[in-house]
Amino acid sequence: MDVIHPQRVAWDTARVFVAATTADAYWWLSEMVGNHLGVTYQLKLAETRLRLLTEDASIAESGMWRVRLQDVIAERPELARVLIDLTRETAARLP
């Protein structure tokens, strides 16, 4: 059985989410985030996309997503495995 490190999951997922917001993978990821994390996180992802399309804020956005995702994992630990799978699938969709 794999040991899941919540902080690592949050950081890896945050980096991939932010990278995906300006790629074609965004549309797929947005739907998956809405399905698994809820509409609030889907809207946050859209806000990230808008910020990154108008300014270079990827480091700040990654940090904000890391905190959000750590909170998600703390509240719902069963989502850690979902985030790992979502991170892998999203990374595979990036150019």
Q: Map out the domains of the chain as residue ranges.
A: 6-93
Assess contact for 35 and 86: CB atoms under 8 A.
Answer: no
* Residue 32 banded pLDDT, cuts 50, 70, 90: very high
Q: What is the pLDDT of residue 2?
A: 74
How does pLDDT run across 68-78, given as a tens digit for each residue? 999 999 999 99
Average the pLDDT over 36-55 and give the result: 96
Q: What is the pLDDT of residue 91?
A: 97
Distances (CA, A) of 54 to 28, 41, 59: 21, 20, 14
Q: Answer left, alpha or beta for residue 3, where phi above 0 means left and psi between -120 and 50 means alpha.
A: beta
Q: Print the SS3 string covering 63-80.
A: HHHHHHHHHHHHHCCCHH
Helix axes 25-36, 39-54, angle to 10 degrees: 150
Structure tokens of 46?
A: 């859209």
